[in-house]
Homo-oligomer: A and B are copies of this chain.
């Protein structure tokens, strides 16, 4: 369970409110690289954690920290919406600054729907979407998902850093960027504890590799047409990273058949031509199929009858 403090994890200061920057911050709140996502991702991973309790505990620690990050960013949005930026006012002195701010680049819903506050959505106003909460039940897969979240999250924060001159905002972002640095480390450290690449690969490592088609387990498939050389690199030759195979390059070619699906099920109501082989049908649906179409027996049953003759 959870407790709160009325104070923020780190100071949020805005010297010159900038409604357009308030829109950009939304990406770090409700975007796919944002803080609602990591908060829920780490908490759901904790709540479903099976196996060593230590990782449940760790996920709970950091999931709780992330709630405070959403809070900081939501506060930063609210502060950036307090007043129209000076530059805008100079530029369009005779016009209404609110109108210009809302229409000229801020997220209009921060005004229309939230009355000058943050939303649970991204920089384009797309609502946060829970399908980005990855919690696979496999610890190694989850750690990689978490590294990804913190890598794209830190990239986002460094990009936001260039869209503001406000010292308060730069200071807040320098804190969040540092935390992303640590969190990248943290999830990778777990992978190291689990034995590194040799220990964890292939993920999941609990499926017997004899059951997979091992002749293509370490082959780089080139799908380029003739005349184009495949790229070469660490992934095209030499020992595989799990020490269990050797990389090779294979020019791809069909190993499978040309699929032929069964004719349409009568009750699925394709066109008659599809059911009669493509010739234009000489009969109406009723002539062809009879009254029985509508209570027609399904294909499997029919073919059984056929075979029982």
Residues of B contacting A221 with CB < 8 Å? Answer: 61-62, 65, 179, 182
Residues of B contacting A218 with CB < 8 Å? Answer: 181-182, 185
With known contacts A61-B221, A68-B2, A270–B184 Cβ distance under 8 A: no
Contact between B99 and A162, CB atoms less than 8 A apart: yes
With known contacts A131-B32, A204-B271, A235-B190, A123–B108 Cβ distance under 8 A: yes
Counting every copy of the chain, the complex holds: 6
In Å, the complex CA distance between A281 and B189 comes to: 18
With known contacts A4-B223, A51-B275, A268-B111, A152–B136 Cβ distance under 8 A: yes
In the complex, whether A307 has a CB less than 8 A from a CB of chain B is no
With known contacts A130-B36, A148-B148, A254–B7 Cβ distance under 8 A: yes
Contact between B115 and A264, CB atoms less than 8 A apart: yes
Contact with B along A208-237 (1 / 0, CB 8 A): 111111111111111111001011011100
In the complex, whether A167 has a CB less than 8 A from a CB of chain B is no
Could you say which of B58, B137, B201 contacts A264, with CB atoms under 8 Å apart?
B137
A286, closest chain B residue (CB): B208
In Å, the complex CA distance between A269 and B275 comes to: 40
Contact between B272 and A206, CB atoms less than 8 A apart: yes
Contact between A74 and B50, CB atoms less than 8 A apart: no
Contact between A257 and B4, CB atoms less than 8 A apart: no
Residues of B contacting A23 with CB < 8 Å? Answer: 103, 108
With known contacts A117-B48, A148-B144, A197-B188, A61–B223 Cβ distance under 8 A: yes
In Å, the complex CA distance between A192 and B111 comes to: 27
Contact between B256 and A52, CB atoms less than 8 A apart: no
Could you say which of B71, B144, B206, B262 contacts A285, with CB atoms under 8 Å apart?
B206
Contact between B206 and A11, CB atoms less than 8 A apart: no
Chain A, 143-202, CB within 8 A of any chain B CB: 144-145, 147-148, 150-152, 154-156, 158-163, 174-175, 177-182, 184-186, 188-190, 192-195, 197, 199-202
Contact between B216 and A11, CB atoms less than 8 A apart: no
Contact between B126 and A128, CB atoms less than 8 A apart: no
Contact between B177 and A24, CB atoms less than 8 A apart: no
Contact between B20 and A262, CB atoms less than 8 A apart: no
Contact between A271 and B27, CB atoms less than 8 A apart: no
Residues of B contacting A83 with CB < 8 Å? Answer: 298-300, 303
In the complex, whether A255 has a CB less than 8 A from a CB of chain B is yes
A17, closest chain B residue (CB): B300
Q: 5 nearest interchain CB pairs?
A: A115-B137, A48-B117, A124-B125, A51-B274, A8-B256
Supply 29 A–B pairs (Cβ within 8 Å), ascending by A: A1-B7, A1-B254, A3-B224, A3-B252, A8-B255, A8-B257, A9-B256, A32-B132, A48-B261, A50-B270, A52-B277, A64-B224, A82-B262, A109-B123, A112-B156, A113-B152, A115-B137, A115-B138, A115-B264, A128-B128, A129-B131, A134-B152, A178-B215, A181-B201, A194-B273, A200-B271, A206-B293, A207-B269, A208-B285
